Amino acid sequence: MLTPADEYLIHQTPYTFDSVFTSDRNFYDRYFFNGYSRDGSVYFAVAMGCYPNLGVMDAAIAVVHEGKERCVRASRLLGSDRMDTRVGPISVQVVEPYRKLRLKVAKNRWGIQGDLLFEARAVPVEEAHFYRRTANNVAMDYTRMTQHGTWTGKLSLDGRAFDLSTPWWATRDHSWGIRTVGGRDARGAPPVEPPQFFWNWAPCHFDDLCVLFTVSEHSDGTRWHESGVIMKPYPAGTKEDTAVDHELVFRKGTRHLESARLFFRPKGGKELEMTMKPMYSFLMKGIGYGDPKWGHGMWVGPDEVEGIELDLAKENPMDPTNLHVQQISEVTIGKKKGIGLYEIIAIGPVEKYGLKGLLDPAT
């Protein structure tokens, strides 16, 4: 079926844009945004995903303030027009590719409302391609672009307007390809080995610097993915790829971080060490990651919206739905002080840090 996107000279297959190159049901195309005040007292995150072979488009926003995480989630029938990026009260508009995007959250009964402009601080980074097999299945085969920026505009919670006159720091990513969503296909042999997944992602901001650290490892520490980038903000707009390493301290009784030391090692350059001290955690289930009902690509209905509030002090960090977090953190490089986040999932053994079994907590 012809769609508005078919007017552009950007086709990659012999088919119209309502079809993708593969019949794999796990094909997806997703935006992620976050933003936070310079002191970290307010944090928000947004996810919007399109699943052409599932016929679903979903979106969610969550705001953390004063120990509570307020979430609005929406899901709808995709239809044929993938350029229609409106789901419930949430919409995203590309104003200028890789420079400006507009995020709107229309008035709704769960109290989150906004009209925000993302403006790039630094160049977009195409991370190393993600590819991971689980037994005989391809679990991941996708591209991800990450970019640091700022937010200006309006954001309110229950009618209380937050002050963005000093632009808030922001990170966004856009990823697309094959990534397991929904339930496991019942066909074929069951997994031979127990699950193991150790994921680390840390985009951080300083007044004169942006950094990106990401590592994914097997239980023995061998890596199946890594990226490290040091960037100078515009107008310089430079970037330097680096090798990376980590020294993490896990909070006892959890699989969340107490602190982190990250190392960036440019080829032929001086090592840069960054320390991170988490202030609080954002639960990724609030925007659909791992949620049993509102998980990405799940069928909720043709046009559904729901809101919830999580009391972060009452959430069990070892509940399987709470393992995936972004920890908003104070960051330092020498005398430089900044702010950023550390996203982590640690499932199964991680030998370097003494994590054992499927979900044994740090001791």
287, 62 in Cβ contact below 8 A?
A: yes
- Residue 36 · residue 21 · CB < 8 Å: no
Residue at 270: amino acid letter: K
Residue 2 lies in a domain: no
Angstrom distance (rounded) from CA 339 to CA 205:
6
Q: What percent of the chain has pLDDT over 70?
A: 98
Q: Which residue reads 């005989």 in tokens?
A: 136
Output phi, psi for 290, to 5 deg: 80, 5
| pLDDT of 186 above 80 | no
Whether 363 is in a domain gets the answer: no
SS3 label, residue 181: coil
Q: Tokens 């309006």 map to which residue?
A: 154
Among 54-68, 174-188, 303-317, the minimum mean pLDDT is found in: 174-188
**CA neighbor of 344 nearest in space, from 265, 205, 249, 242:** 249
Would the pLDDT of 187 be above 90?
no
Q: Count of alpha carbons within 13 Å of 294, Cβ hemisphere only?
A: 24
Separation CA 107–CA 113 (nearest Å): 5
- Reduce the DSSP state of residue 5 to 3 states and report it: helix
Q: Is residue 55 a contact partner of residue 68, using CB atoms and an 8 Å limit? A: no
The pair of three-digit structure tokens given for residue 267, joined into one six-digit string: 């080829």
The predicted-structure confidence for 297-332, as pLDDT tens digits, reads as follows: 999 999 999 999 999 999 999 999 999 999 999 999
- What was the pLDDT predicted at 135? 74
Predicted confidence (pLDDT) at residue 184 exceeds the cutoff of 70:
no
Number of domains within the chain: 1
Confidence band for 182, pLDDT divided at 50, 70 and 90: low
Q: Residue 13 falls within a domain, yes or no?
A: no
Classify residue 94: in a domain, yes or no.
yes
Instruction: Compute the Cα dihedral for 314, 320, 322, 323 and give only its sign.
Output: positive
DSSP state of 350: B
The answer to whether residue 16 is domain-embedded is: no
CA distance 143 to 173: 10
Report the alpha-carbon distance of residue 223 to residue 198 in Å, rounded. Answer: 10
Is residue 5 situated within a structural domain?
no
Q: How far is Cα 295 from Cα 292, in angstroms, rounded to an integer?
A: 6
Of 43-52, 132-141, 230-239, 245-254, least confident by mean pLDDT is 132-141
| pLDDT confidence of residue 183 | 58
Count CB neighbours of 265 within 10 A: 15
Q: Which domain holds residue 298?
A: 21-182+194-353
The DSSP-derived string for 115-170 is EEEEEESS--EEPPPEEEEETTEEEEEEEEEEEEEEEEEEEEETTEE---SSPEEE
pLDDT tens-digit series, residues 84-102: 999 999 999 999 999 999 9
Output DSSP code: residue 363. -
Which structure tokens are listed for 131?
């590819």
Q: Residue 57 pairs with which residues in a beta bridge?
A: 50, 76
Q: Express each pLDDT in 341-359 by its tens digit.
A: 999 999 999 999 999 999 9
Q: How many Å apart are CA 326 and CA 85, to the nearest integer? A: 25
φ, ψ at 5 (rounded to 5°): -65, -25
Instruction: Supply φ then ψ for residue 41, to 5 degrees.
Output: -70, -20
pLDDT per residue over 260-303, tens digit each?
999 999 998 899 999 999 999 999 999 999 999 999 999 999 99
pLDDT score for 268: 82
CA distance linking residue 54 with residue 30, whole number of Å: 14
- In total, the chain counts a number of residues equal to 363
- When pLDDT is cut at 50, 70 and 90, the band that residue 185 belongs to is low
In a domain, 28, yes or no: yes
CATH label of the domain that carries residue 240: 2.40.370.10
Question: Is 205 a member of any domain?
Answer: yes
Lowest mean pLDDT among 141-150, 159-168, 192-201, 215-224: 192-201
β-pairing, 125-126 with 130-134? unpaired
8 Å CB contact between 64 and 282: yes
The label of the residue with tokens 């003494």 reads 354
